[in-house]
Structure 1
Amino acid sequence: MNLMTKTPLIISTDPGIDDIAAMTIALFDPAIDVKMIVPTWGNVALNYTLQNTLNLEKFLNTKVPVVVGANQPLVRPAISAASVHGETGIAGFEFEKADDSLVEKGLAATKMHEAIQASPEKMTLMGIGPLTDLALLFKQYPEDLEKIKEVVIMGGNIGHGNHSPLAEYNIAGDPEAAQVVFQSGIKIKVAPLEVGNKAHVTPEQMERIKECGEVGKMLHAMFSNIHETDGSNLIKIFDPTAVGIMLHPELFTMKEANVEVELAGKYTAGATAMDFLSDKPNAEIAVDVKTDEFADWFIQGVKIAEQGRK
C-alpha cells in the first residue's frame, strides 16, 4: 500500500488491557499511520498508563512518539478501574520494562496541535480513554478543528452503564471533556458500551489468538485476567471496536444521533443522552456489530501484528 494512502492517526489512551489490544491492532494495520500515542489517566493512574504504553512499544518493536497526557480530569476527582484491569492496568502479563526514550517532551495539546498542522492529510483522532486531552486540544487550538478528519471514540452508552447505572466509564471519568468533544462540530464516530459487549471473542477464539505467536500469547494472558462483572466466559474487547468502526464500518450498523453528556445529575453524571430522532445529529453511533466477522478481523489483526513486530 502506498504510504500516502495511510490514515494519519493520534491515539489518546489509558492502557488498560483492551487499550493494549486496540493499539496493537492499530500500530500494524496497513491502512493506518500512527503519528503519536498520548497516554492519559483513566483505567489506572497516569504513571502506569504511560509505562504500559512504553512497555507495549518495546514489546512490539515500534517507535511511535509518546507524549504524556493529562493526569486528572478537567474538573472532577479521578476515578479508577484497577479492580477490573489490575493495579498496573495490565494484570496477567509481565512486560519487560521500557525506558522513556520514546517520550517527547511538551504538553499533549501542543504536541498534537503541531502534528495536526504538520500533516498534509487531515488527522484522525482516536479516544479510547477519558477525553481530557482531546478537550484541551480543542479549547486551546480551535484552528485545528478544520484539519481533523474525524474523532473515533470508544465510550458512552445507549442504555445501562458500566461505571454507574446510566454512565459508561470513559465518559463518566471526564464528562465535561466529553461534552466539549461532542460539541466541537467535528465528525464523530462512537463505539458505545453495547457494541463492545457484543463484539466479543469466545474462549475457543481466544485459544486461536494464543496460537498466533508472542503477540497472541500476550493478549491471551491479559484477557484471561479480566474479571467480567456478569460472570460471562465471553471475552469483551471494547476498545478495539473503535479501530473497527474507523477501518471497517461495514461490520457495524451505524446510526446518527445527537449526543449530549449529562453533567449535573446526581445519579446520571456522565450519561450519554443519545437522541436517534434528532434532526441535528452530532455523531454516528455503532448500534450493532457482525460478531463473527469482527472476531475474524481481530484475530487477523493479531496475526499481522505478530508478523510486523519481528
Structure 2
Amino acid sequence: MGTKLIIDTDPGVDDAFAIALAATSAEVELLGVTTVFGNVPLARTTANARRLLQLCGRSDVPVAAGAARPLVYQATRRLGGVHGSDGLSGRADTLPEATRPLEDSDAVSLLVSLLDAADEPVAIAPIGPLTNIAALLAAHPGIRSKISRIVLMGGGVARGNTTAVAEFNIWADPEAARRVITEDEVPCVMVPLDLTHQCAVDDVWLGKLGGSGPLGRTLETLTSDYRAHYRRVLGYDGMVLHDAVAVAEAIRPGLLHTETYPVTVDTSAGPARGMTLVDRRAVPLEAAGREVEVAVDTDVDELRNFVLSRLAGGR
C-alpha cells in the first residue's frame, strides 16, 4: 500500500467528497476516520461519516466519535448551516446504513491505537475543527513520532468565511487550532480558503461527476444546499471542494505548492477571533508563530482532474 492516512472530519458536503476521494484511491491505506462537531452536531457528523464509508464500500474502515464541543468556549452562535440541516443537503438518510458498528472507543483512543499499530508514520488529514487533534497531541505527546505530517483544511491568508477574517474550522475552536498549528512540533501543511476557492468546480464538472456512475451520481445529489450557497458566493453554479483539496495533498504530496511562513491563531475574544495570522514579511522582526507550510498555489486543472478521476472510478 501507499500513503497511510487517517481522516478527522465533520461531514459536510466537501468532507463527503474528501472521504470518498481517500476511500477510492488505490494508493491510500485509509486506517480510520474520526469525527468531530462542526458543520452539524457530533451525532450527525458521525452518522454521515459511517454512511459515506458504506457508500464507498469501505466497511473495513473503523469510525470513532470525538469531541462534541470546543476545548474551551462554546460557540456564541449556531455552527454550520451552509451544508443543510443534516450536513448533506437534507439527503443524508438516503445513503446506505452502515454495517460496521461505531467503535466503542473515542476518537483520541482510536487515533492512538491506529498510530501505535502502524509500521511507519501516518498522515492525518483534519478537515473539521481541530479539537480531536489538539486533545491527542496534548494527552499523548509521545505519539508525535508516529505522525508523518498533518495536512489540515483551515484558515485563510487574506480572507475569512465565517467572519471577515476567520475560516470556519479555525473559528469553531481557535484554542485547539492554536495548539495544533502554532504550538506543536508535528510537521503541518495548512490548506487555506485562498487556495481552495481557486479550485472551485462548476456545473459542468459536477455534471461529469453525476454521470460517471453510482458513486459520482450519489455524491452529486448531496450538493444542492451547498451549491445554493456557493451560487451567491461564486456568482455561478458551482461549489468549493475545500476539504477534498487538503485530502488530495495528503494522498499525493506536492500536488499543492506550499511556502513556509510563521503562523499563529488569534484566540482573543475580539472581532479577529479565529483568524490565522500568516506572516509573509521577508524578514519578520519578531517571532510570529511556528513556521508552517501554507498551500498557496496548484495546477488547478490537474487538481480538479485528479479529484474527478478518483470519484468517477479511475484508480
Alignment TM-score > 0.5, same fold: yes
What letter is aligned with 2:62? P
Q: Report percent identity of matched pairs.
A: 29
**2:292 aligned with 1:283, yes or no?**
yes
**2:67 aligned with 1:70, yes or no?**
yes
Report how many residues are paired. Answer: 302
**1:208 corresponding residue in structure 2:** 208
Q: What is the distance in 2 between the residues matched to 1:140 and 1:249? A: 28
Once the two structures are TM-superposed, the CA of residue 220 in structure 1 deviates from its matched residue by: 1.5
**1:152 corresponding residue in structure 2:** 151
**2:257 aligned with 1:259, yes or no?**
no
Runs (4+) of structure 1 exceeding 6 A deviation are none
**2:18 corresponding residue in structure 1:** 22
Once the two structures are TM-superposed, the CA of residue 73 in structure 1 deviates from its matched residue by: 0.6
Once the two structures are TM-superposed, the CA of residue 292 in structure 1 deviates from its matched residue by: 1.3
Once the two structures are TM-superposed, the CA of residue 281 in structure 1 deviates from its matched residue by: 5.0
What letter is aligned with 1:290? D
**Paired residue secondary structure (1:165):** coil
User: Which segment drifts farther, 146-155 or 27-36?
Assistant: 27-36
**2:84 corresponding residue in structure 1:** 86
What letter is aligned with 1:88? D
User: Which segment drifts farther, 118-127 or 15-24?
Assistant: 118-127
**2:166 aligned with 1:167, yes or no?**
yes
**Residues 65, 107 of structure 2: 8 Å contact kept:** yes
Once the two structures are TM-superposed, the CA of residue 200 in structure 1 deviates from its matched residue by: 1.3
**2:237 corresponding residue in structure 1:** 233
**Paired residue secondary structure (1:61):** coil
**Paired residue secondary structure (1:282):** strand
Q: Give the TM-score, by structure 1 length.
A: 0.92
User: Which segment drifts farther, 232-241 or 116-125?
Assistant: 232-241
Once the two structures are TM-superposed, the CA of residue 245 in structure 1 deviates from its matched residue by: 1.9
Matches within 5 A, 1:241-252: 241-252=245-256
- Cα gap change, 1:17 to 1:144, in 2 (>3 Å): same
- Cα gap change, 1:27 to 1:80, in 2 (>3 Å): farther
Once the two structures are TM-superposed, the CA of residue 102 in structure 1 deviates from its matched residue by: 3.2
Q: Give the TM-score, by structure 2 length.
A: 0.90
**2:273 corresponding residue in structure 1:** 269
What letter is aligned with 1:21? F
- Cα gap change, 1:256 to 1:107, in 2 (>3 Å): same
Give CA-to-partner distance per residue, 1:73-120, whole Å, 9 cap, x none. 101114544421011100153424525733111122122111111111
Once the two structures are TM-superposed, the CA of residue 244 in structure 1 deviates from its matched residue by: 2.0
Once the two structures are TM-superposed, the CA of residue 127 in structure 1 deviates from its matched residue by: 0.4
**2:117 corresponding residue in structure 1:** 118
Q: What is the distance in 1 between the residues matched to 2:11 and 2:300? A: 24
Once the two structures are TM-superposed, the CA of residue 21 in structure 1 deviates from its matched residue by: 0.2
**Residues 130, 171 of structure 1: 8 Å contact kept:** yes
**2:46 corresponding residue in structure 1:** 50
Give CA-to-partner distance per residue, 1:129-187, whole Å, 9 cap, x none. 00000000001100001221000100000011000011000000000001111111111
Give CA-to-partner distance per residue, 1:42-77, whole Å, 9 cap, x none. 001011101111111222221200011111110111
**Residues 134, 179 of structure 2: 8 Å contact kept:** yes
Q: What is the distance in 1 between the residues matched to 2:18 and 2:78? A: 20
Q: What is the distance in 1 between the residues matched to 2:172 and 2:12? A: 14
- Cα gap change, 1:154 to 1:263, in 2 (>3 Å): same
Q: What is the distance in 2 between the residues matched to 1:125 and 1:179? A: 17
Q: What is the distance in 1 between the residues matched to 2:7 and 2:244? A: 12
User: Which segment drifts farther, 107-116 or 275-284?
Assistant: 275-284
Structure 2: runs of 5 or more not aligned: none
Structure 1: runs of 5 or more not aligned: none
Q: What is the distance in 2 between the residues matched to 1:95 and 1:288? A: 36
Q: What is the distance in 2 between the residues matched to 1:282 and 1:146? A: 18
Matches within 5 A, 1:6-21: 6-21=2-17
